[in-house]
Amino acid sequence: MADKYTSIENLKFLLKEVHNIEEIFKYPRYQDYDLDALDVLIDSVKDFSDKEMFPYFKDMDEKPVVYKDGKVIVHPQIDTIIKKSAENGWIGPYFDFDDGGSQMPGMLYGAGFHILEAANNNATGYIGLTTGAANLIVTFGSKQQKDTYVPKMLAGKWMGTMALTEPQAGSSLSDVKTTAKPSADGHYEIKGQKIFISGGDHQFGENFIHLTLARIEGAPMGTKGISLFIVPKKRLDAAGNFEDNDVFTAGDFQKLGQKGYATTHLSFGENDNCRGYLLGEANRGLKYMFNMMNEARLSVGSSATSIATAAYQASLQYAKERPQGRRLKGSGKKDASQEQTLIINHPDVRRMLLAQKAITEGALSLILQSYKYQDLALVAEGEEKEKYHLLLELLTPIAKTFPAEMGRYSINEGLQVLGGYGFCMDFPLQQYYRDIRIMPLYEGTTGIQSLDLLGRKIPFENGKSLQLLLAEVSETMQTASEHEDLKIYVTELESKIKLVQEVLQHLMAFAMSGDFEKYLADATIFMEFFSTIVVSWQLMKQAVAAKKILVEGNGLYGEDFYKAKVHVLRYYFKYELPKTAAHAEILRNKEILTIPEEGNEIFS
């Protein structure tokens, strides 16, 4: 087990010195928070994670969720984690005071969750999903629904889930088949199967509140005929006592990773006695769900970042302790009489560690940037509000996908740092490698996020969101130009932005001619291309903040910390950003070889 799973120094640097969280604290909504409160909060989450989360990370993998006789049994520590998280206000902390929250800024929530997830990503879903489900009820529910469910959920007694997926409806939720039949007394009779439902059942939930997508009998086909229901595992009778609600847990999926996190198969209404309660208006269910998906997608990006960060810390510790081979200094001849060097001194190992450091620090910065836009979108007015909303919308698929895909890549490098031990169960890299693999899959696969980015977010209102983002990047470049040794990186980033415009011009020609299949055929390559550039902006932001502190000498930490930030920028611009030239070459090639016209016989 490694000693460290994240860097609190880096987290505080990002919050205070890069993203200026103080700007957020000035708004009346967040007036209970300040920099001192931030320190107390971060330190208390770290203390909790050190004691209650991290020590159980390996054990949850080795003693995975078990399904027996319709019951799901999770690791006993999950009980403590849920109870203490609720006591500490970590379920729904960003809700309004009136809804039982503490109006915590999203940036702080994101920072706290980063620590929890880096410590143990198998356990956080239970509280994160309960928050997400309660948020749906708070946002769209009636007073009676809020009063019935939300306090119990925030207290950690009743757990929440998102029950969307069905065997035939994964990426394409418009194909949901679960039915809802209206009854005379206002509730709906629910019938159907939901698969892959995270945290759908376990021995520590008094009740489970499934936020369920279903189709009311006679509703239109497709997305416009889907409604959202509250379907409790146990409903309340007139006297307020529990009554079985005919929700059967048919199984728990055995998985590659996140083995401590239950993934259930739920069957609703096998005995025609499952009641659902409509949330909001009929046929608007998917719209409501999408409202919450930004939040869920940001959470997945944050989880991926956190897992990759913990993996980086474990690789780094190993590289500092493992002697192997000798350095090739001077003549290039090895001197066997010399003691072995630590592997951290081999350039190839340093390259892998730098890849991990750059990707995880860039990803974490992107997550916090997105949370900042979310916070500002909530409190700003008029045009400003719209601006932050559009920026958040544009960044969300990127903030989900870059950490998921590049985090996976960075953990692969990290596993390589450990050599053969990376493949062995005694070391944690293999678990991080398995745990992160779900991130490009759930909450919309990478393919679906990429279609969203290129198909909806980029063309939205003739590229308005993109223009707003480029203005933000340009502001960072301007401040970077004030430092002589950052100017070459500004020139480089400028040329990449020009490249984005050229690539889009080329792709738009397909869209303009009405050939959307061709326009979107390589959307995933576009995602890789664009997100690599977006993250270079985040690393430049960090280097600018570090440079300023190095010049003015008023930072939180010593000089080495800030010099490292500039080094990471240099690494990323030399080793990662140039890959976008290859992406652009693929994207600008007129030949699209992946569309079905080629015929399926090419796969024989």
Ligand X SMILES: Cc1cc2nc3c(=O)[nH]c(=O)nc-3n(C[C@H](O)[C@H](O)[C@H](O)COP(=O)(O)OP(=O)(O)OC[C@H]3O[C@@H](n4cnc5c(N)ncnc54)[C@H](O)[C@@H]3O)c2cc1C
- Which residues, other chains included, contact 150 with Cβ-Cβ below 8 Å and sequence gap of 6+? 92, 99, 100, 134, 137, 138, 141
The reply to whether 183 sits near ligand X by the rule CB under 6 A is: no
Q: Which is nearer to ligand X, 213 or 417 (CB)?
A: 213
Q: What is the dihedral of CA 539, 541, 543, 545, to 10 degrees?
A: -150
Closest contact distance (angstroms) between CB of 33 and ligand X is: 31
Does 277 bind ligand X (CB under 6 A)? Our answer is no
Q: Which is nearer to ligand X, 313 or 431 (CB)?
A: 431
> Nearest 5°: CA angle at 350, between 349 and 355?
100
Of the candidates 485, 463, 491, which has an alpha carbon nearest to the alpha carbon of residue 551?
Answer: 485
Q: Is residue 139 close enough to count as binding ligand X by CB under 6 A?
A: no
255 is an interface residue for ligand X by CB under 6 A: yes
Whichever of 102 and 193 has its CB closer to ligand X, that residue is 193
| Position 248, amino acid | F
Q: Does 286 bind ligand X (CB under 6 A)?
A: no
Find the binder of ligand X among 197, 279, 368, 395 (CB under 6 A): 197
User: Which residue, 81 or 173, is less far from ligand X as judged by CB?
Assistant: 173
Residue 344 vs 441, nearer CB to ligand X: 441
What character string, x for contact with ligand X (CB under 6 A) and - otherwise, covers 291-330? ----------------------------------------
Residue nearest to ligand X (CB): 170
Q: Which of 124, 198, 313, 531 binds ligand X (CB under 6 A)?
A: 198
Could you say whether residue 214 binds ligand X (CB under 6 A)?
no
CA distance 368 to 97: 23
The whole-angstrom distance between residue 270's C-alpha and the CA centroid of its chain comes to 35
Residue 4 makes contact with ligand X by CB under 6 A: no
**What is the closest distance, in whole angstroms, from the C-beta atom of residue 178 to ligand X in the complex?**
11
Residue type at position 579 = K
Contacts of 499 (CB under 8 A, 6+ apart): 580, 581, 584
Residue written as token pair 């991080």: 432
Q: Does 251 bind ligand X (CB under 6 A)?
A: no
What is the nearest approach in angstroms of ligand X to the Cβ of residue 449?
A: 9
Half-sphere exposure of 23 (CA within 13 A, CB side): 14
- 343 Cβ neighbours under 8 A, 6+ residues apart: 318, 319, 322, 323, 324, 325, 349, 417
Binding-site member from 20, 31, 142, 171 for ligand X (CB under 6 A): 171
Q: Tell me the C-alpha distance between 534 and 538, whole Å.
A: 7
Residue 162 binding ligand X, by CB under 6 A: yes
Contact between 130 and ligand X by CB under 6 A: the answer reads no
Taking residue 109's Cβ as centre, other Cβ atoms within 10 Å add up to 23
Stretch that binds ligand X, among 95-103, 192-200, 373-381, 393-401 (CB under 6 A): 192-200
Handedness of CA 438, 72, 133, 261 (dihedral sign): negative
Q: What sign has the CA pseudo-torsion 56, 400, 447, 473?
A: negative
Secondary structure class of 587 (helix, strand, coil) = helix
Q: Which is nearer to ligand X, 162 or 458 (CB)?
A: 162
Bridge partners, 71 (sequence order): 68
CB nearer ligand X, residue 308 or residue 352: 308
Per DSSP bridges, beta strands 263-268 and 207-216 are: unpaired
Shortest Å, Cβ 281 to ligand X = 21
Q: Between 430 and 469, how does the x/- string for binding to ligand X read (CB under 6 A)?
A: --------x--xx--x-xx--x------------------
Question: Look-up: residue for tokens 């970590």?
Answer: 90
Nearest to 539 by CA among 513, 568, 512: 568
Instruction: Out of 77, 124, 165, 365, name the contact with ligand X by CB under 6 A.
Output: 165
Q: Does 126 bind ligand X (CB under 6 A)?
A: no
254 binds ligand X (CB under 6 A): no
Closest CB to ligand X among residues 172, 501: 172
Total residues contacting ligand X by CB under 6 A comes to 19
Asked if 545 and 561 touch (Cβ cutoff 8 Å), the reply is no
CB 164 within 8 A of CB 213: yes
Residue 410 Cβ vs ligand X, minimum distance, rounded to whole Å: 21
- The footprint of ligand X (CB under 6 A) covers 161-165, 170-171, 196-198, 255, 263, 438, 441-442, 445, 447-448, 451
